[in-house]
Chain A
Amino acid sequence: MTTIESSPDAVGAAGGESAIGSFPVVAAAWLTSTDHKRIGRLFLGGSFVGLAATAVIGLLLGIERVDGGEVLFDINAIPQLFQLHRFGLISFTLIPLGIGLSIAVVPFQLGARSLAFPRLALAGFYGWVGGLVLVVVALANNGGIGGGDPDMVDLFLAGHGLMALGLIAAAASIATSVLTTRAPGMSMRRVPLFSWSALVSAIGVLLSLPVLVGALVFLFVDHRNARAVFGGNEGIGNWIGWAFTQPVSYVFALPAIGVAAELLPVTFARRQVMRGVVYTGLALVGVGALSAVTQQNVHNLPWSGSGLDTDQLGTKFDDFVPFALFNLLPVLGVLIVMAVGALGAKGARPSITSPFLFGFLGVGMILVGMLGGVLYPIDDLGLQGTVFEEGALVYVVYGAVLGIMGGVVFWAPKLWGRTVPDKPAMGLAGLGLIATVLASLPYYAAGFADQPAASPTYDYDGPAELWNALVLVGHGLMLLTVLAFAGLATKALRTIDDAGGDAGDDDAGDAPGDDPWDAHTIEWTTTSPAPFDNFAEVPVVTSAEPALDRKSLELSS
């Protein structure tokens, strides 16, 4: 590019969007942007659409289960719907949400002027969207797992591979950013907690999704030709199902946990204590990626039998080690993050805001899902193949959605230059909590009653219809939450109130100050919204909480 050319980004950054006022030009500027804020928002917008679609799939599946099947679809469509719901929760929603928020926020937090390899991240977005379209087309034409149209099943596999490659590309961009674009003075020990969680999650994606891609290549070639090795269309779920359940889902949910970790010291107006321990806690959640490396999520942990028999003790120990690695360490990681946060809160007067509420409730839901993930592999409980697994997955994914929503509200001033009104957002956090609990908790009970996951009918005298109806309502409420959140955010972002205001005000679209939350990290030292290059000048960092230090310095002087 020569020096006399103006990139679309530069035009947009100079306020050219409204001046031009032409949709094709603005759309082209967005769709070819190398600005991390735009790429992140593209990912976030796409994944909120994906979340709404997944909630609709959950609704359809719930309707079939309540009425015992064949209400809207053929009985053979139920396993497809079930698998699609799992894939939607992970591939349409969880991974791109975390990646979207990370791309949008991490360069700010690092004091960087741009994302590393922004074109790679943008290509990743297009790969993900393209794959998503292929998958939806395949599914609409009976091409899901167990689908009846072989060509569409092939398309489904190819689409999933493309989505995974796109997400890998975006994750590589995030991880490289954290490792190479930090501001002067920002050592790895000073990286903000959200950025650290984004790094761990991105590395987890880089470790796990290539294994999925490798399996998809085998499945595609085999299914396209001989169908001799991998069980044809019915066997696909056995080979790639590990990527769409616990414990690898914890790695994808890590950015939501990072949002909560970031917000705890801000809420309690305290410095982060034991920062290294929180880093460790977040990294421990990342060991969920081990399950991807080994492609297993069930360890067949036998609990019964004579515990005094030394031979059996040895066998049990062999079973217990991978079980503990995959399932207990991530739980320990979240508990460490929360415990250190609680330590920092001692004696403080918290200022509860909507981002904190979203984040805190989200982590709580993720933790409940993780505890379900601990129970699921225990053989003697007989939960494998039941809806229990679905309940735990929905807890983790919907919990992560709440956490990411908290992040969007928190960083909205930097991304859009507007605040989302606090009280309505708090109401949405509450609605999201109810939706999450209703969409998942009943399946914990139904799992113990042996309700099968992939079949709408089963022989049980208990209140199965009630459980399924509650789950149906839960998915409906989550759909409502997403739509309401989108409406609230859109209203806030489209309304311009030049009078200014604090983040806690309820006026939609307040133009916020540069530091509306009285936060601690470096991104709050630049303007709201941030300029194209994020910072007018390269900031120099001398501590892990530079904004807090600056405020203390100004107060003391």
Chain B
Amino acid sequence: MTLALPSGPAPAPRRQIFVGTALGCVAGTMLIGGQLAIWALIRDRAVDAGERFPASFEIPEVASNVMLMTLYALCLFAQWTVYSAKRGDHMHVGLSLGIVALMAIAFINAQAYVYNTMEMPVADGGYPGMFYAITGTMLALVIIGLVFTAVTAFRALGGRRGELELVSAHAMYWYFVAAAFSGVWFLVYVTK
């Protein structure tokens, strides 16, 4: 015999995409946080041993500063998307998402510039490998964000339900990326 419970209408959605993205951001924070912790540990060991860290590589600081500013500005545009979506302004949603994508591409371009300028072979000692590992992970997070932006644009501009939730989750992801890069910028590019 089935003990049927009283039935009711389907529950209102509980912001599934937003919560899932928040959990993804938590995982990403642990990823970058763990890497920064290892970076700091290795750097401390090198400094304690009287070595220079990095040994003989110059980091182009202007480009790295521009990368940071790009991400902060990107967050503003992602928030503009949320603002526009709240008002049902599809034109501005599309425009702001386009600018977000453009700035993410600019970040990737700046990172490529940093790699090219440094001319640092990955097998040339311990530092290059660590540098490429942590900045490469950061780059992967930005590329994931770019894909997220594209998906958000398709879904939001296609008139899917839950547009506001999606663009809010999208903005939150970029806030996380900006915060994560702030840590990388400070530890890897500034204090080295």
A interface list, Cβ under 8 A from B: 116-117, 120, 168, 172-173, 175-176, 179-185, 203, 206-215, 217-218, 220-222, 224-226, 228-229, 239, 293, 295, 513-515, 522, 524-527, 536-541, 546-547, 550-551, 554
Contact = CB atoms under 8 A, between A and B. Distances in A.
A295 B35 CA distance: 11
Nearest to A239: B38
Contacts of A222: 126, 129-130, 133
B24 A172 contact: yes
A173 B4 CA distance: 28
From DSSP, what is the main secondary structure of chain A's interface residues? helix
Interface in B21-39: 23-24, 26-28, 30-35, 37-38
A181 B14 contact: yes
Contacts of A212: 34
Given A225-B129, A228-B125, A547 B34 contact: no
A398 B2 CA distance: 36
Contact of B31 (A214, A226, A513, A538): A214
Contacts of B48: none
Interface residues of B, number: 44
Given A226-B124, A525-B2, A547-B3, A538 B30 contact: no
B8 A226 contact: no
A215 B34 contact: yes
Contacts of A514: 1-3
B20 interface: yes
Contact of A210 (B1, B27, B126): B27
B125 A538 contact: no
Given A229-B130, A538-B8, 7 more contacts: A117-B16, A180-B19, A182-B11, A214-B32, A214-B137, A538-B11, A540-B5
27 contacts: A117-B16, A172-B20, A172-B24, A176-B16, A176-B19, A180-B19, A181-B14, A182-B14, A184-B11, A203-B23, A207-B27, A211-B30, A214-B34, A217-B137, A218-B133, A220-B133, A221-B122, A221-B136, A222-B126, A225-B122, A225-B123, A226-B122, A226-B123, A228-B126, A538-B8, A539-B8, A550-B4
B62 interface: no
Contact of A116 (B16, B32, B34, B122): B16
B7 interface: yes
A183 B130 CA distance: 47
B19 A179 contact: yes
Interface of B: 1-11, 13-16, 19-20, 23-24, 26-28, 30-35, 37-38, 42, 122-126, 128-130, 132-134, 136-137
B136 A550 contact: no
Contacts of B20: 116-117, 120, 172-173, 176, 180
User: Which of B13, B23, B37, B134 neighbours the largest number of chain A CB atoms within 10 Å of its CB?
Assistant: B23
Contacts of B34: 210-212, 214-215, 293, 295
A517 to B, nearest CB: 13
B129 A229 contact: yes
A160 to B, nearest CB: 15
B31 A211 contact: yes
Contact of A540 (B6, B27, B31, B133): B6
Contacts of A229: 42, 126, 129-130
Contacts of B10: 538
Contacts, number: 149
Contact of A218 (B8, B14, B35, B123): B35
Given A116-B16, A211-B31, A541-B5, A206 B130 contact: no
A470 B2 CA distance: 48
A486 B13 CA distance: 39
Contact of A217 (B6, B13, B35, B124): B35
Contact of A525 (B5, B14, B23): B5
A181 B12 CA distance: 10
A179 B129 contact: no
Contacts of A541: 5
A175 B5 CA distance: 25
B150 to A, nearest CB: 18
B11 A221 contact: no
A522 to B, nearest CB: 7
Contact of B30 (A120, A176, A207): A207
Contact of B23 (A175, A184, A537): A175
User: Which of B34, B128, B130 neighbours the largest number of chain A CB atoms within 10 Å of its CB?
Assistant: B34
B173 to A, nearest CB: 13
A464 to B, nearest CB: 37
Contacts of A116: 16, 20
B143 to A, nearest CB: 15
A402 B122 CA distance: 47
B5 to A, nearest CB: 4
Contacts of A295: 34, 37
B35 A207 contact: no
B118 to A, nearest CB: 15
B23 A176 contact: yes
Contacts of A209: 27
Given A176-B20, A206-B23, A551 B38 contact: no
Contacts of B32: 214
B123 A527 contact: no
Contacts of B30: 206-208, 210-211, 214, 293
A218 B20 CA distance: 27
User: Which of B2, B7, B35 neighbours the largest number of chain A CB atoms within 10 Å of its CB?
Assistant: B2
User: Which of B3, B26, B133 neighbours the largest number of chain A CB atoms within 10 Å of its CB?
Assistant: B3
A525 B3 contact: yes
B35 A168 contact: no
A225 to B, nearest CB: 4
Contacts of B28: 210
Given A221-B122, A226-B129, A213 B31 contact: yes
A551 B128 contact: no
Contacts of A526: 2
Contacts of A211: 30-31, 33-34
Given A176-B20, A210-B28, A218-B130, A522 B35 contact: no
B3 A215 contact: no
B14 A221 contact: no
Contacts of B5: 522, 525, 539-541, 546, 550
B42 to A, nearest CB: 6
A341 B148 CA distance: 46
A540 B7 contact: yes
